[in-house]
Amino acid sequence: MSTRPRITFDDRGWCNACQWMEEKKTLDWSARRTELERLLERLRHTDGGFDCIVPVSGGKDGSYVSYQLKHVHGMNPLAVTVTPALVLPLGNDNLRRFIDSGYDHVQINPNPEVMRRLNTEGFVHKGFPYYGWLIAIQAGVLRLAAKLGISLVMYGEEGETEYGGSSEFKYRATVSIDYMRKVYLEDGQDTVFAASKLAASDLQFYTFPTVEELGGRELLIGRWSYFESWDPYRNYLVAKEHCGLYERPDTNVGTFTNFAQNDQALYALHTYLMYLKFGFGRATQDAGIEIRRGAMTRDQGLNLVRLYDDSFPAEHLEEYLAYYRMTLPEFDDVLARWVNRDLFELRDGRWRPTFTPR
């Protein structure tokens, strides 16, 4: 969608995600593989220590990256999970099966009340229902790496490049902390901290390590999608075969897929807010991936978007109200604060699109 933040289009009307899809077909991936092998060899421990950290939820992407590093490249990764709020049973089960498939694992459990307050203020002030957790999966993981003296944290995809956004790190193997703050957190960290009125001592898992704390040690933030053509469906198949991943028996809220983002109930609210803010939801996101990888036509994708994108996660509403400690009118007021009035109007108590996806 043209409303996606930081997206650009060429003179054919192709967005930069589709341009990247086209470019990936002719890119010299062997050169990037060599770059990866040299990087891993330089960081490989000979004393049995952990070579790198991979953030995982038990889902397809972290499982895939962990499997590649351990079984294809012979690394010794430490898998790290930051526990989200409103964990789904399937997410817990998948994480357990991933660990049991043969990985060392650390689970960070930040103070639930601190995360609740940060998530609540992120919901209100940024339109991000799990903003506290979003900070922690970046800042908290990097802080752990710094404490353990581990020089590489390898995430999955660089989402801006893959899905349409900033191309700043399209040709760079690692991203910076400043980039994570500016793009992934939308420069909202200080706003949410101030609104939460939490003490600095409460925010250890939410603040990035400083240069002084690193003490001159190297800390690289990698994205696996730089080194290998990113394919979420392939990741799912590998995770299912080798890491015990299970999918939902039915489709996820707001989309036609059932094998991704099954770890927490707040993700459905996150994508619904995305829909209200920008006019595209989870189905558009998933259809774009499937179209770009050649698994469906654009017309098929449009039909699925029209069926699923306008789905409110009603099945979790009572959980949301209890978690944020809001009444239904207070909750609705937050949604109204973030809705794009150029794209939606209120009818019968629900925000309905005034546009037709095309």
CATH number of the domain where residue 23 is located: 3.40.50
Is the confidence at residue 1, as pLDDT, over 90? no
Mean pLDDT of 202-229: 92
CA distances (Å), 265 to each of 83, 127, 259, in order? 12, 16, 14
Helix axes 131-148, 189-196, angle to 10 degrees: 100
Q: Which of 226, 260, 285 is the last residue of a domain?
A: 226
Model confidence over 326-357: pLDDT tens digits? Answer: 999 999 999 999 999 999 999 988 999 999 88
Q: Which residues make Cβ contacts (< 8 Å) with residue 239, sequence separation at least 6?
A: 59, 60, 61, 63, 64, 67, 98, 245
Identify the pLDDT of residue 169.
87
Q: Are residues 182 and 262 in the same domain?
A: no
Identify the pLDDT of residue 194.
96
Q: Are residues 164 and 298 in the same domain?
A: no
> Do 64 and 235 form a contact (C-beta atoms < 8 A)?
yes
Q: Are residues 74 and 131 in the same domain?
A: yes
Q: Are residues 177 and 298 in the same domain?
A: no
Mean pLDDT of 149-161: 94
Q: Which of 165, 194, 226 is the last residue of a domain?
A: 226
Q: Are residues 154 and 284 in the same domain?
A: no
Q: Are residues 222 and 277 in the same domain?
A: no
Identify the pLDDT of residue 215.
80
Q: Are residues 221 and 260 in the same domain?
A: no
Mean pLDDT of 167-183: 91
Q: Are residues 51 and 104 in the same domain?
A: yes
Identify the pLDDT of residue 248.
93
Residue 319 lies in a domain: yes
- Provide the residue range defining the domain that includes 274: 250-353
Is the confidence at residue 46, as pLDDT, over 90? no
Mean pLDDT of 150-172: 93
The residue whose two tokens read 């001592």 is: 201
Give the integer Cα–Cα distance in Å for 17 and 20.
5
Q: Are residues 87 and 121 in the same domain?
A: yes
Single-letter amino acid, residue 11 = D
What percent of the chain is modeled with pLDDT above 70?
100
Confidence class of residue 174 from pLDDT cuts 50, 70 and 90?
A: very high
Residue 49 lies in a domain: yes
Number of domains present in the structure of the chain: 2
Give the integer Cα–Cα distance in Å for 59 and 245.
7
Model confidence over 185-214: pLDDT tens digits? Answer: 999 999 999 999 999 999 999 999 988 888
Q: Which residues make Cβ contacts (< 8 Å) with residue 40, sequence separation at least 6?
A: 51, 52, 69, 73, 75
Question: What six digits make up the tokens of 117?
Answer: 């307050």
> Do 256 and 290 form a contact (C-beta atoms < 8 A)?
no
Q: Are residues 71 and 164 in the same domain?
A: yes
- Strand partners for 346: 351
Residue 242 lies in a domain: no
Identify the pLDDT of residue 286.
94
Residue 53 lies in a domain: yes
Residue 234 lies in a domain: no
Q: Which of 226, 242, 276 is the last residue of a domain?
A: 226
Is the confidence at residue 48, as pLDDT, over 90? no
Residue 1 lies in a domain: no
pTM for the complete prediction? Answer: 0.94
Q: Are residues 171 and 61 in the same domain?
A: yes
Residue 6 lies in a domain: no
> Do 219 and 146 form a contact (C-beta atoms < 8 A)?
yes
Give the integer Cα–Cα distance in Å for 256 and 286.
8
Identify the pLDDT of residue 214.
85
Q: Are residues 222 and 326 in the same domain?
A: no
Identify the pLDDT of residue 263.
92
3-state secondary structure the chain: CCCCCCCCECCCCCEHHHHHHHHHCCCCHHHHHHHHHHHHHHHCCCCCCCCEEEECCCCHHHHHHHHHHHHHCCCCEEEEEECCCCECHHHHHHHHHHHHCCCEEEEECCCHHHHHHHHHHHHHHHCCCCHHHHHHHHHHHHHHHHHHCCCEEEECCCHHHHHCCCCCCCCCCEECHHHHHHHHCCCCHHHHHHHHCCCHHHHHHHCCCCHHHHCCCCCEEEEHHHCCCCCHHHHHHHHHHHCCCCCCCCCCCCCCCCCCCCCECHHHHHHHHHHHHHCCCHHHHHHHHHHHCCCCCHHHHHHHHHHHCCCCCHHHHHHHHHHHCCCHHHHHHHHHHHCCCCCEEEECCEEEECCCCC
Residue 332 lies in a domain: yes
